[in-house]
Amino acid sequence: MVACLAASTVAARDYGQLGTTTPVIEPDLLAAIEARLLAAQASGKIAAMNKTLAARTEAKVKRPPPVEGLSPTTAVRSWTYDPTITVGSDISDHRGNLIIPKGRKVNPLDTVSLRQSLVFIDADDAAQLRWAIKSTTVLNAKLILTGGSPFTVMKAEQRRVFFDQGGKLVAKFGIRHTPAVVEQAGHVLKVTEVVPPRAAARREAAL
C-alpha cells in the first residue's frame, strides 16, 4: 500500500516549465482557398481560364470528335438489324395496371414505323456529302454525321443534320464504313453500306 502511494505521488509531481511553448495555429483551409481564388480573380487568371474553356467547348460543339474506326465504303454490304428487346421489369401505367410484363419480347417497329431512313456519312468526305444531299430529301432521310462539322453543313445546305456522338449508333447497327443507310424492312431494319456513284466510277477506272 505504501509503495502504491509513493508511485502515485511521483506521477503527480509538477516538474515546471522545461522549455518555450507556442500556441498551435492551424490555417483555415477554406480561407486559404478563398484567398487564392480572390488572387486569381484579381490577376485575371480565372477570366482567362473561363475564356479558354468556353472556346474549347464551342469548338467541340461545332466540330465534334469524329467517330473512330470508320472508313469509306469500297464494296456494298447489307444486313438486317432486329430491334426487338426483352423487357427487364414489369411496366405499368400511372394507375398500376400492368401494360407489359417482365420477360416479354417487344419490337418497337410493331407499333412505330421508321418513316425516315438514317443516312450516315463523313461530311469531311466531299463525295459522301454530295451523294447524301443529292440522293435524299428532308422528308425521306435524316443525315447523321460521323465526321465533319454539322454547323457547316446546316449553314451551307440549309438542312438540319445530326451527329453520332461517340459512335453509339454505328456501333449498335454494326456499321464499319460510310456512307451507310438504315431503313425499315418489315419488322427489322435493313442496313446497307453504300458506295457513292462517283467513288465507284473512280475505282472502276483505276482497275
Dist. CA 72–CA 194, nearest whole Å: 9
pLDDT of residue 5: 44
Domain count of the fold of the chain = 1
In this structure, what DSSP letter does residue 64 have? P
Is 193 inside any structural domain?
A: yes
Is 28 inside any structural domain?
A: no
**Domain residue limits at 181:** 71-83+111-206
In this structure, what DSSP letter does residue 126 have? H
Assign residue 75 a region: left if phi > 0, alpha if psi is -120 to 50, beta otherwise?
beta
Is 11 inside any structural domain?
A: no
Dist. CA 123–CA 162, nearest whole Å: 11
pLDDT of residue 43: 80
pLDDT, mean of each 10-residue run, the chain (207 residues): 48 58 65 80 73 60 87 96 93 89 92 95 96 94 97 94 96 97 97 82 49
pLDDT of residue 167: 96
| pLDDT tens digits, 89-130 | 988 988 889 988 999 999 999 999 999 999 999 999 999 999
Whole-structure pTM value: 0.68
What are the cell numbers at 175? 456499321
The answer to whether 156 touches 162, Cβ cutoff 8 Å, is: no
CATH number at residue 140: 3.40.30
